[in-house]
Structure 1
Amino acid sequence: MFAEYSRYDATELAALIARGEVSAGEVLEAALARAAQVNPALAAICLPMEAIARERARGPLAGPFAGVPFLLKDMGQDFAGVPSPSGSRALRDWMPDRHAYIVQRFLDAGLVVFGKTASPEFALKAETSPRLWPQPTRNPWDLARTPGGSSGGTAAAVAAGIVPAAGASDGGGSIRIPAAYCGLFGLRPSRGRVPCGPADGEHWEGASSQHVISRSVRDSARLLDAIAGPGHGAPFAIAPPAQAYAEAIARPPRRLRIGFSTRSPLGTPVHPGCVAAVQRAAALLAELGHVVEPAEPAVDGRALARSFITMYFGQVAAGMARARALTGAGEDAFELETRVLGLLGRTISAGEYVSRHAQWNDYTLALADFHRQYDLYLTPTTAQPPNRIGEIDTPPGQRALARVVLALGAGRLLLATGMVDELVETSLARVPFTQLSNLTGTPSMSVPLHWAAVEEGGPELPFGVQFVAPFGDEATLLQLAAELELAAPWQARRPPAR
């Protein structure tokens, strides 16, 4: 059945089920069969929920995606009564007693959840290799490489054909980076478009948004229709779209003015394949009648990275404290790198944290100025192709030094030595383009438009391009994505059979 199942996106699977051509149970079994076939090699699904899914598939289902198999991300997408470890050994056995708002909306849409996908510990890396699970998550395009992070398990599962779409979230690029690495479509909604409660009013100071990674644009549009809108107790209500996103993509966008850049905001190298992806996108956009020219917002990329990393340190410290409060976990329950980041988060003063957060307004104003002249901003999604598993692991010498620093509690020493600036560059050099959208709260997307081999004799790998829109304008992004999908289809491009 899989060969037939894999041809359809979630929208068409729902239509087949609604017409009675196939049952929800049959479609679920096809998804489970595919998972059994490929997940042992990929390690995309970390927490199976087969019994829950089979029971749900037997019952009456309603909603636009009634009966469609689905996976949740193991971070921020809590399912009541199912462990929600967020990639951490400290939360291995912690189970929420209520669904996250987004999970309830997925269920209300009729989706049949049959598992959770792997995420790095607390969603902290652009690689999905948490120590919690016995093996790292692998990229279906090349099993030696990462699918990215933090929604790496989601991207691997969708790219491998286990599901047509799955839950994801993005606090620094965690939807767009895995989508780019795995040849998929990934839209990060505006701040507040999708609720993140009830555990949080906002996550990561409002920098993180939840949605999905998908193979088709229409699935992302229709799923956004299903989950958008403020949750109970939301800190603010974003203006609703003028019309449903599924209706908006039925017509092409207006003639757009698009500024593009391939320069890393950090001044670090950008791989030729990433540059070529933008050049290809720019040429295609021009053919479609859009105005495309070099331009970029007047943002200090290094200052923005420092603002992001300061928030990141603070969030790690807070996340560790929350985990300890929930489970009583000791320090050894957290990964070494997480413990160092948490130490830095506890060391940075509240005054510096607030000052760095205040700078987010500078980036928001600069991007708003840019959008006075350009409808969209185009860049590579990432600066490098997906790294090989283990390639960016902390070297043994640095791990030994980290243990000494932790034993001494020498966070201030690390800050005084300039280690933070080095960490900014080493951690973000591969992915320097995505954080602008997070700190400004704007919607953005990664679109798969280019494939190329990155080494002689190696497989072709996907390269994504990123578009950033003004706050609240997911509709223009989705309209353009649908136009690009029609002009340069990517759904038929699948990873090598596994």
Structure 2
Amino acid sequence: MTATGTDPWLDATAQAELVRDGRVSPRELVEAAVERVRATHADLNAVIHERFDRAIEEASGPLPDGAFRGVPIVVKDLYTPSAGDPAHNGARFLKEAGWRAGHDGAVVRRLRAAGFVLIGRTNVPEFGSGASTEPLAYGPTRNPWDPRRSPGGSSGGSAAAVAAGLVPVAHANDGGGSLRMPASMCGLVGLKPTRARISQAPAGAAWGIGATADGVLTRSVRDTAAVLDVLSGPEPGDPFAAPALARPLVREVVADPGPLRVGLLDHPPVDGVPADPVTAQAVKDTGVLLEKLGHRVSYDHPPALDAPDFSVRFFSLTAASLAAEMAGWGRRLGRPIADDELEVPNNALVPLGRDMSAVQYVETVEWMHAFQRRMAGWWAPGGFDVLVTPVLNGTPPPLGWFADPAEGRLRVREVHQYTAQFNATGQPALSLPLYETPGGLPVGVQFVAAYGREDLLVRLAAQLEQALPWAGRRPGPQLRPTEDGR
């Protein structure tokens, strides 16, 4: 099989099987992926740091005999270093400084050990603080389903690369929905794992509550399970620990979830924010499907989700974290980072973070810990197994929609209603590409389980993948969405 003849829509598991069977070489897989990235770069702008020559050289030599030997992958250019490669986090001042990583982080080290070949790093909004991937440093990434639209953020570059068939799997991370939202907008599987399931070594725990989590974006449940198995596990000195899983997640793909008790939430928990009709209907339809599959379904959700001050508390921790990040970069570069070196939203956040006192910070962290306890009660033994919500309170918006100077912050608040709460609690949360708008754009549905229960989510996801297959839905030139995408 030649490089140009490699099927771009095979998932990572299938590509790895081709290599093991000798039907294709790692070099052929990598060369085919490189060709696809080059051919689509002008249209998508998904991969911003190329490792093409190095990747082909690596694929031509000995590779670790791991589960994904020879399979090409891209890594998100945000807090996940790969030795010798640019690490700009979407920031102009790091691009201008030509900053490069001096080491592999734990995630990249484990990907390499599994046999993956890293072909490049993907576009992100500046320091990940955006619902769309449109950094001034590198320009916007476009949604393969409609290039006029956003692929989401902050893992938008990774999502666009997988959705367009450039690679079968991409690294992503999630500090408030940054993996699940692009999964929803680009028609992918996106599982944010339990806090500390995947080590972020050598980095610490963002915001003191371990809100960020690494994971992957894929086109199949089996890929998500198998790659998370590769990435999972602690590193010495990790500040948090995840409960051990009973067995590898890939074995859960063929396991029966049994009858589950499922709660539905089809409207924003914040008063005054109207529900998007398309995503609300997706939750309703999911409830009907789950009942047909034998699950007990009712409209219910954790009362703690209705807390009116969650978003303010989460926002303040974001500001404090970003301010600390800028102080850290100032030390590394040997000079202070001026506020006007940042894009407008972050320029406004950093002073707020600096003004937050140590007492206010600790009080906010303690509030979040109490919030986590209140949330956990809904999933306690005898309670519910899974919560189903929209991923977004809306469908993929046009590029620039969140950047509007007058309406941008309000629009982010309206759309960002269902994801950040589970970063605060550390629970596993999954976006599945179950539906689409009448105009053909993807619509993800979110499934949330109790702390440590990725196994249950994988079982349920595999059941839904069989009941409502999405593998045949792909972007292409035949798609002509209406002006509003519906």
Query: TM class, shorter-chain normalised?
Result: over 0.9
In structure 1, the partner of 2:391 is 381
Structure 2 residue matching 1:206: 3-state secondary structure: coil
CA offset digits 1:129-158 (Å, max 9, x no partner) = 00111x201111111110000000000100
Unaligned runs of 5+ in 2: 479-486
CA offset digits 1:357-387 (Å, max 9, x no partner) = 2111232122211113100111001001121
AA aligned to 1:339 is N
Does 1:39 find its partner at 2:47?
A: no
Does 1:442 find its partner at 2:447?
A: no
The 5 Å alignment of 1:150-229 reads 150-201=154-205, 205-229=209-233
CA root-mean-square deviation: 1.7
AA aligned to 2:198 is V
How far 1:335 moved relative to its partner? 1.3
Unaligned runs of 5+ in 1: 399-421, 454-458
In structure 1, the partner of 2:264 is 260
Q: Please, which of 324, 331, 342 is the counterpart of residue 325 of structure 1?
A: 331
Distance 1:282 1:103 in 2: 38
Does 1:304 find its partner at 2:310?
A: yes
Q: Please, which of 349, 353, 359 is the counterpart of residue 367 of structure 2?
A: 359
In structure 2, the partner of 1:283 is 288
AA aligned to 1:380 is P
Task: Count the aligned residue pairs.
Answer: 467
CA offset digits 1:145-199 (Å, max 9, x no partner) = 1000000000010000001110000000011000000110000000010000113
Q: Please, which of 6, 11, 14 is the counterpart of residue 12 of structure 1?
A: 14
Does 1:67 find its partner at 2:52?
A: no
In structure 2, the partner of 1:414 is none
- Tell whether the 8 Å contact from 2:267 to 2:275 is kept in structure 1 after alignment: yes
In structure 2, the partner of 1:418 is none
In structure 1, the partner of 2:468 is 488
How far 1:464 moved relative to its partner? 0.7
Structure 1 residue matching 2:150: 3-state secondary structure: coil
TM-score (norm 1): 0.91
Range moving further from structure 2, 363-372 or 480-489: 363-372
Task: Assess, with a 3 A threshold, how the Cα gap between structure 1 residues 217 and 181 changes in structure 2: closer, same or farther.
Answer: same
In structure 1, the partner of 2:481 is none
The 5 Å alignment of 1:332-411 reads 332-372=340-380, 373-395=383-405
Distance 2:370 2:204 in 1: 25
How far 1:237 moved relative to its partner? 2.9
Distance 1:277 1:368 in 2: 25
Distance 2:470 2:353 in 1: 41
In structure 2, the partner of 1:465 is 445
Structure 2 residue matching 1:17: 3-state secondary structure: helix
AA aligned to 1:190 is T
AA aligned to 2:392 is T
Task: Assess, with a 3 A threshold, how the Cα gap between structure 1 residues 265 and 394 changes in structure 2: closer, same or farther.
Answer: same
- Tell whether the 8 Å contact from 1:145 to 1:386 is kept in structure 2 after alignment: yes
Distance 1:52 1:232 in 2: 30
CA offset digits 1:326-359 (Å, max 9, x no partner) = 2234443321221111011112222222222211
TM-score (norm 2): 0.93
Structure 2 residue matching 1:302: 3-state secondary structure: coil
AA aligned to 1:310 is S
Structure 2 residue matching 1:317: 3-state secondary structure: helix
Distance 2:141 2:362 in 1: 36
Distance 1:483 1:2 in 2: 34
Distance 2:269 2:444 in 1: 17
AA aligned to 1:40 is A
- Tell whether the 8 Å contact from 2:190 to 2:430 is kept in structure 1 after alignment: yes
- Tell whether the 8 Å contact from 2:402 to 2:411 is kept in structure 1 after alignment: no
AA aligned to 2:187 is G
How far 1:205 moved relative to its partner? 3.2
- Tell whether the 8 Å contact from 1:263 to 1:270 is kept in structure 2 after alignment: yes
Distance 1:7 1:342 in 2: 42
Structure 2 residue matching 1:337: 3-state secondary structure: helix
Structure 1 residue matching 2:353: 3-state secondary structure: helix
Distance 2:189 2:449 in 1: 16
Structure 1 residue matching 2:229: 3-state secondary structure: helix
Task: Assess, with a 3 A threshold, how the Cα gap between structure 1 residues 14 and 204 changes in structure 2: closer, same or farther.
Answer: farther
CA offset digits 1:378-401 (Å, max 9, x no partner) = 100100112111122142x79xxx
Task: Assess, with a 3 A threshold, how the Cα gap between structure 1 residues 229 and 191 changes in structure 2: closer, same or farther.
Answer: same
Distance 1:113 1:377 in 2: 35
AA aligned to 2:12 is A
How far 1:3 moved relative to its partner? 6.5
Identity of matched residues, % = 38
In structure 2, the partner of 1:143 is 147
CA offset digits 1:81-111 (Å, max 9, x no partner) = 1110000012221112110111100101100
Range moving further from structure 2, 478-487 or 260-269: 260-269
How far 1:202 moved relative to its partner? 5.2
Structure 2 residue matching 1:492: 3-state secondary structure: coil
Distance 1:227 1:156 in 2: 22
CA offset digits 1:424-482 (Å, max 9, x no partner) = x55321121001110001101001111113xxxxx411111111111000000011111
Task: Assess, with a 3 A threshold, how the Cα gap between structure 1 residues 161 and 91 changes in structure 2: closer, same or farther.
Answer: same
Task: Assess, with a 3 A threshold, how the Cα gap between structure 1 residues 295 and 2 changes in structure 2: closer, same or farther.
Answer: farther
How far 1:306 moved relative to its partner? 1.4
- Tell whether the 8 Å contact from 2:9 to 2:165 is kept in structure 1 after alignment: no
- Tell whether the 8 Å contact from 2:87 to 2:101 is kept in structure 1 after alignment: yes
Structure 2 residue matching 1:197: 3-state secondary structure: coil
Task: Assess, with a 3 A threshold, how the Cα gap between structure 1 residues 364 and 199 changes in structure 2: closer, same or farther.
Answer: closer
Distance 1:141 1:173 in 2: 20
- Tell whether the 8 Å contact from 1:147 to 1:178 is kept in structure 2 after alignment: yes
AA aligned to 1:433 is Y
Task: Assess, with a 3 A threshold, how the Cα gap between structure 1 residues 126 and 240 changes in structure 2: closer, same or farther.
Answer: same
Task: Assess, with a 3 A threshold, how the Cα gap between structure 1 residues 461 and 204 changes in structure 2: closer, same or farther.
Answer: farther
In structure 2, the partner of 1:52 is 54
CA offset digits 1:295-314 (Å, max 9, x no partner) = 01011343211121111111
- Tell whether the 8 Å contact from 2:205 to 2:212 is kept in structure 1 after alignment: no
In structure 1, the partner of 2:91 is 88
Structure 2 residue matching 1:383: 3-state secondary structure: coil
